Amino acid sequence: MSHLPYPRPKSIAQGKKEDEMVGAFTRRTVLAGAAAATAAMSVGAVDSPASAQTRQDMILFVLLSGALTGIAEAKLAPGFRAVPSLTDIDLEKSEPGSDPVDIKQEYFNWVNKKRQATLRRLLQITKDSPKSSDRSQAIIDKVQATPDTKYLARSIVLMWYLGAWYDPDNLRALAELPNPPAKASSFEVISPKAYTQGWALRVAQAHPMGFSEMQFGYWARPPSPRTDFIGN
């Protein structure tokens, strides 16, 4: 049996040497991660938002997230209903969604605390986007226009997929600097709930390590189609 009880993870930043026994962890990486994790626990990811959030804000946040992640809005926010339709939305009549896990609320609170002004701009971009079938692409194009919205959008994508927060400034450093500092690869897990709600493994028709809602023997059967997991 191998003396490494788990597979070697790939590093996020490039250029790590293979003779390291474990992947990309450096002092700085973990430093930022662990310290921020402690801070996150005390801040309380499920507390009320820093600024007043309207129902409309939440609908826009779900639309934004759907456009950025490519996952159906009704999957990100169960109970979400676009009235009269997804391409022709009436913000007053639509339903933001109502489900017991309510991860959208936790994520909204989190991003609002981290980057309130930029989040507002992203929501405005979503609101101003044309009511057409390529609205998602329009949002993505608009978002790329300035670095603050561009990298916050990336943080939001990673947040939905991984349940972890990669700060936009770090993502920018990784993308734009020729030699990004080690700290730029750091991240923090948002909460136990967020970890279990990550979409990366659902897209893979699987589940996060340590959290299965499936039944004994599921591993012996082909998984359900991906649409069951992600809705489209």
Partner 1 sequence: MAAETCIECDVAIVGAGFAGALIANELGKARKKVVILEAGDPVPPNINDFMRRFYMAPAKVPESPYTPEVFDAAGNLSDPSKMNAGRPTVLSLLRKGGFGDWTDPKQSYLIQKGPRPFASTYDRLAGGTAHWLGTCLRFVPADFRMKTNYPSVPQFVDWPIGYDDLNDWYGKAEAELGVSADLEEQKFLGIHFPDGYKYPMPKIPRSLVDVAVSDALRSLTENETKFLEMERPPTEIRVRSLPAARNSQPYKNRRACAGNTNCIPICPIQAKYDPTITLNEALETGHVEILDRHVANEIVVDPLGFLAGRRYTCYCGRSVIGSVLCRDCAQEMADYFKANHHVVIRSLSRGL
Partner 2 sequence: MRNNSSATVAVLGLVGVLSSFPSSPVQAQVTPSAQPPKPLGQPCNLLSDLVPANPPSPKPPTDPSKLTLTRVDATTKNTILNSGLPCQENVSPQGPDKAKTPLENLQRGFDFYSWLTFIALNSPADGRPIDQATPNTKTKWEDKANFKQLLDVMLPGGAASEWTDKIPPPPGCKSQFDANPDLMVIDMIEETFNQPFKTGALIDQQGNYALFDILMNRQMFDYIKKHKLYSKREQLSAANSNLKIDFPAGANPPDGQVEGGDPGGIIIKVSWKILDSDQEKRKFHTVDALVSLPRHDPATEPPCLRKTLGLIGFHVMHKTKSRLPWIWTSFEHVDNVPEEQEVKSRKLKPSYSFYNPRCNTTTCPVNQTPPRPWDPTPSLGLKFHSPFKSQIVRTTSLTDDTKKMNKQFQGILKGTVWENYMLLSTQWPSDFNCARKVASDAKPELDPNTDAEKEPDMNCAPAPTFLANSTLETYSQGSVPLASSSCMACHGNATSYQLPPPDANPNAKFFNQSDFTFILEKAR
Q: Which residue has the tokens 């989190």?
A: 110
Residues of span 168-227 touching partner 2 by CB under 8 A:
192-193, 196, 202, 205, 207, 210-211, 213-218, 220-221, 223-224
Q: How far apart are CA 65 and CA 77, in angstroms?
A: 10
Q: Is 229 in the site for partner 2 (CB under 8 A)?
A: yes
The answer to whether 166 and 133 are in contact (CB under 8 A) is no
Q: Does 30 help bind partner 1 (rule: CB under 8 A)?
A: yes
The whole-angstrom separation of Cα 66 and Cα 77 is 9
DSSP helix/strand/coil, 189 = strand
| Whole-number Å distance between alpha carbons of 65 and 57 | 12
Shortest distance, position 156 Cβ to partner 1, whole Å: 19
Q: Site for partner 1 (CB under 8 A): which residue of 7, 100, 219, 225?
A: 219
Q: Choose, by CB under 8 A, the member of 4, 7, 10, 42 that binds partner 1.
A: 4
CB of 87 to partner 1, least distance (A): 37
100 interface partner picked from partner 2, partner 1, none, CB below 5 to 8 A per type: partner 2
The reply on whether position 52 binds partner 2 by CB under 8 A is no
Is residue 85 within a helix (H) or strand (E), and if so which, with residue range?
strand 84-85
- The answer, yes or no, to whether the previous bond of 96 is cis (omega within 30 of 0) is no
Q: Provide, rounded to whole angstroms, the least separation between the CB of residue 149 and partner 2.
A: 30
Least Å distance, CB 21 to partner 2, is 30
Does 37 bind partner 1 (CB under 8 A)? Our answer is yes
For residue 175, give the nearest of 156, 145, 147 by alpha carbon.
147
CA separation for the pair 166, 184 (Å, rounded): 9
State which residue, 28 or 127, has the beta carbon closest to partner 1: 28
If the CB atoms of residues 3 and 10 are measured against partner 1, the closer one turns out to be 3
Q: Which run of H or E residues covers position 171?
A: helix 168-176
CA distance 75 to 103: 11
Q: Considering beta carbons, is residue 149 or 191 the nearer one to partner 1?
A: 191
Q: Are 231 and 72 in contact (CB under 8 A)?
A: yes
**Smallest distance, partner 2 to C-beta of residue 207, A:** 6
- Minimum CB separation of residue 213 from partner 2 in Å reads 4
Q: Are 87 and 132 in contact (CB under 8 A)?
A: yes
- Residue 10 interacting entry, from partner 2, partner 1, none, C-beta within 5 to 8 Å by type: none
Name the site residues for partner 2 (rule: CB under 8 A).
78-79, 95, 98-101, 192-193, 196, 202, 205, 207, 210-211, 213-218, 220-221, 223-224, 228-229
